[in-house]
Amino acid sequence: MTFFQASEIVKNYANHRALDHVTISVPEKSIYGLLGPNGAGKTTLIRIINQITAPDEGSLTFLGRPMREEDVHQIGYLPEERGLYKKMKVGEQALYLAQLKGLSRQEALKRLKVWFEKFEIQDWWNKKVEELSKGMQQKVQFIVTVIHKPRLLIFDEPFTGFDPINTRMLKEEILNLRKEGATIIFSTHDMASVEELCDHITLINRSRTLLAGPIQEIREKYAGNEYELRFEGDVNLLTATLNSRFSILEHTKEGNVSVLKIKLNDRGTPNDALRILLDAGKILSFNKLTPGMNEIFIRVVSEAGEKETAETLTETTQN
Amino acid sequence: MSKTGLIIRREYMTRVRKKSFIILTLLTPVFMAAMFVIPVLIMSSKDKEVKRIAVVEEGGSLFRGKIHSTQYLKFEYLDNMPLDTLKKEFDQLGYYAILYISPKLAYIPTAARLISRKQPSLDVVTYIQDALKKEIERRKLLSYHIENLDKILKEVETDVKLQTIQISATGEEKRTSTGIAMGIAYVGGLLIYMLTFMFGAMVMRGVIEEKTNRIVEVLISSVKPMQLMMGKIIGIALVGLTQFFLWIALTLAIVTAVTGVLMHGPDQEKKITPQSFFSAGTPQSNTLQEKTISMEDLSQGEQLLTALRSVNWPLILGSFLIFFLGGYLLYASMFAAVGAAVDSETDTQQFMMPITIPLLIALFIAMGAFQNPDSPVAFWGSLIPYTAPVVMMARLPFGVPLWELILSIVLLFLTFLGTVWFAARIYRTGILMYGKKPSWKELWKWIRYKTY
């Protein structure tokens, strides 16, 4: 079921178009990755979802109906540019921000107590924010983002400024929240965490969607017909039996074990390959190679860049 | 509580709890009260002990019985005591001073001496000088052998005090004091100017703080930028009002307490001079003030209090409140927009012009209005909303027709609504923009962006 959808969003700024007919469709209880290089338009899209800015064209659908102003109470947003009032006390500030999210004072107090205990930060309550380290401030920030139990969570570059331990903890919390029924949109440059967390992604580049879909499908799609083979035996024999169906891209040796990267041609299937390999030696493993998100990201973005340059060039020659 | 309410409360509470706020709020009334009380205090600071003054007149008794004793000054004529003995036994005799009068006094002004241990207070000296002078004048007149001189003198004796009367449209007459009116105009106009800047800048700093703290985007995902901006402006307005009321209440309390104690002191000289406290304080009459203030403190202090009581305080204070609020709201929204457009306070200079220039112009017009409250410049200045708060306060004590007052207020609040609309549009875009300082052209584009 689609939990949230932004359709054909267009947003123009003074000198450029920040979003050009971008559509994202976020399934319920998914972790949705919003990827793209700096300046691609991710933050603009997130701000539109949060109703901070209005789109020039396009529509937002929340739970199958047009998004309403009070839906912001169902959204928890951790912006990339985030901070707290430095001179204000931690507890007072958390209470204030929670109340701004529509919680009553009592309810906010109760929930904050639970979270402060969970993160073992009860004794920060009466400290001023400026006395906390950056990582500590991020924890407080995380708490006030989720305190009102939003059904949609939006994290913009959530891991910047966290140390590895806190990053781990934050990831666990994100997975927990999903388990509890939240839908999460999450924008990042960190492809490792995308692979680890996201189910779906949209890749935006230069204001346009380049790629969208479930992460597994995307990785499949970008997987070339490549396999990794580990076996013990005579590589030369194997090379000898090579026919046009597959080629060896890489060959390394780990002791007795040969590690080969094989590419099958268009008509070749893994079964064909295995049939040939069976006689060549002792097969330890045979895996399909799927590219990492990092690889896909770079590939897709640079291809798009080339294409765009080419387009610009043709345009200029035509003119 | 509504979101705007929550914002107002935070803006208010964080500022009211600041030490600087508490100190400023408590200290200012002390200074303000001092302004009213010190003249009164000076006059009554003369000590209440009875001073005995020995009068020694060489070769005659012309002045015997001519220097009248008062409640605190007792003059005793010592005919047979030589001055030297008297000086020697000064302490035993317990005199405050010895007044020595030489017969040459009639033609040598310095021929009388007042000898004392302590420097005698000025009013003692003045009192004796007056008495001696009057007696000599009287004697000189006598030498012309004019018949019925005493009677003539009595009849001729005159005292002039120019009363200024304001006549209202209904024909009602009211005693006024031009000095007091000028004083109130001056203080009112200047105070509005200063407070607008002070609290406006507070709004601006608040906006910049939220921007540099990077908290603004967190806030803006829960509340509308307009709510955030108005919450801040109103919160700080309430801080201003709290301060204002505390100032007035504390000042009144101190003034009433101090003067209450002092006014019950007996024997106050009733000499009235037409010079009032405030006009004495203005720069052009500084030299005059030097000469007169200490002698006439008593009458001035007293007159000041009477004149202050004759002022239409509800009108002045009520108008002050309305114009302070209107002016503040008008400028604070502009201050908020400036704060949103920049990243740090040092960058604000460029955008401060539309704020500082009208306020400065207002101050100049107000200065002119003290002299000529009904000139066309003052009239228009008090109607144009950007200058009205300052100029109207400067005109008000001299009397302004009701329709002008109401028109001015209506225009002020309408302009406020318009300005807030523009300011809010710059604000909501500006708070999310970091980095390059925008140009005027860009601000104009921000105003035209689509919003919810």
Domain ranges of chain A: 2-220, 224-288
Tell me the range of A41-55, B42-56, B317-331 where mean pLDDT is highest: B317-331
For residue B174, pLDDT over 60 is answered with no
Identify the residue with better confidence: B272 or A202: A202
Token pair belonging to B323: 């114009």
Whether residues B76 and B28 fall in one domain: no
Local confidence band at B239 (pLDDT 50, 70, 90 cut-offs):
very high
Whether residues B207 and B79 fall in one domain: no
For residue A37, pLDDT over 90 is answered with no
CATH of domain A224-288: 3.30.70.80
What is the average pLDDT across B282-290? 39
B264 occurs within a structural domain: yes
> pTM for the complete prediction?
0.72
CB contact under 8 A, B218 and A56: no
Local confidence band at B1 (pLDDT 50, 70, 90 cut-offs):
low
pLDDT of residue B419: 92
B426 occurs within a structural domain: yes
Which of B92, B120, B148 terminates a domain? The answer is B120
CATH number of the domain within which B97 lies = 3.40.190.10
Q: What confidence tens digit (pLDDT) does each residue in A134-182 have? A: 888 888 888 999 999 999 999 988 887 778 888 888 889 889 999 999 9
Whether residues B257 and B109 fall in one domain: no
Nearest chain B residue to A97 by CA: give it.
B219
Identify the residue with better confidence: B446 or A117: A117
Q: Within an 8 Å CB–CB cutoff, is residue B222 touching chain A? A: yes
Q: Which of A85, A86, A155 should be substituted to probe chain B, the one whose Cβ sees the most B Cβ atoms within 10 Å?
A: A85
Q: Are A22 and A206 in contact (CB under 8 A)?
A: no
Whether residues B287 and B323 fall in one domain: yes
Same fold, A2-220 and A224-288: no
For residue A67, pLDDT over 60 is answered with yes
Q: Which of A170, A282, A171 is nearest to A232 (CA)?
A: A282
CB contact under 8 A, A69 and B452: yes
Question: Based on the structure, what is the number of domains in chain B?
Answer: 2
For residue B410, pLDDT over 90 is answered with yes
Q: Within an 8 Å CB–CB cutoff, is residue B209 touching chain A? A: yes
Which of B74, B102, B120 terminates a domain? The answer is B120
Q: Which of B3, B215, B442 sits opposite A85 (nearest CB)?
A: B215
pLDDT of residue A183: 93
In B, which residues are within 8 Å of A52 by CB distance?
A: 217, 220-221, 432
Arithmetic mean of pLDDT over chain B: 79
- The domain in which residue B290 lies consists of 3-41+177-448
What is the average pLDDT across B182-211? 89
Determine what percent of chain A is predicted with pLDDT higher than 70: 95
CB contact under 8 A, B218 and A14: no
pLDDT of residue B287: 39
Which of B76, B95, B120 terminates a domain? The answer is B120
Identify the residue with better confidence: B38 or B432: B432
Whether residues B369 and B346 fall in one domain: yes
Tell me the range of A267-281, B4-18, B357-371 where mean pLDDT is highest: B4-18
pLDDT of residue A283: 85
CA dihedral B232, B238, B240, B244 (to 10 degrees): 180
Q: Domain A2-220 class?
A: alpha beta
pLDDT of residue B163: 62
Q: Are B210 and B431 in contact (CB under 8 A)?
A: yes
In A, which residues are within 8 Å of B14 by CB distance?
A: 85, 87-88
Identify the residue with better confidence: A270 or A67: A67
Q: Closest approach of chain A CAs to the CA of B340, in angstroms?
A: 15
Q: What confidence tens digit (pLDDT) does each residue in A201-237 have? A: 998 888 888 888 898 888 888 887 788 888 887 777 7
Angle of helix B388-395 relative to helix B349-371, nearest 10 degrees? 20
pLDDT of residue B369: 83
For residue B391, pLDDT over 80 is answered with yes
Whether residues B60 and B37 fall in one domain: no
Whether residues B29 and B56 fall in one domain: no
Tell me the range of A223-232, B32-41, B188-197 where mean pLDDT is highest: B188-197
B142 occurs within a structural domain: no
- Return the SS3 of A92: helix
For residue B229, pLDDT over 90 is answered with yes
Q: What confidence tens digit (pLDDT) does each residue in B119-173 have? A: 777 778 888 888 888 888 888 888 888 777 778 877 877 777 666 666 656 655 5
Whether residues B219 and B87 fall in one domain: no
Angle at Cα A106 formed by Cα A103 and Cα A112, nearest 5°?
A: 75
Identify the residue with better confidence: B415 or B109: B415
pLDDT of residue B295: 38
For residue B304, pLDDT over 70 is answered with no
CB contacts < 8 A, A to B, total 68
